[in-house]
Structure 1
Amino acid sequence: MLLLRTGRFNFSRCYAAGAEFLKDVPLTKRDNEIVKVDDLKNKAIILYFSSGWCGHCRLFTPKLKKWYDEAAKDENIEIVWVSRDREAKHQIDYYNRALPNVPYIPFGDKHISEFLKKYDVKTIPAARLVNNNGEVIDQEVRNKVQVRYCFNSSRVSSSEM
Structure 2
Amino acid sequence: MLRVFVWVFVGLVVLIVWLILGASKNEKQASGPKTSQLPKPSIKMLNRDGDAYEDEWHTYIAGLKHHISKYDIGGFTGYVVKDPHNEYDRNAMAVVSSIKQLGYIPAKELLDYIQWSNGAPMPCVGFIYVDDGQYRGRVKILRPCSEEFLQTEFSRYLQWVKDNYGNEYLPKTMSMRFDIE
Q: Does TM, normalized by the shorter one, top 0.5?
A: no
Write 1 or 2 for the structure with the bigger share of strand: 2
Please report the TM-score for the alignment, with normalisation by the length of structure 2.
0.28
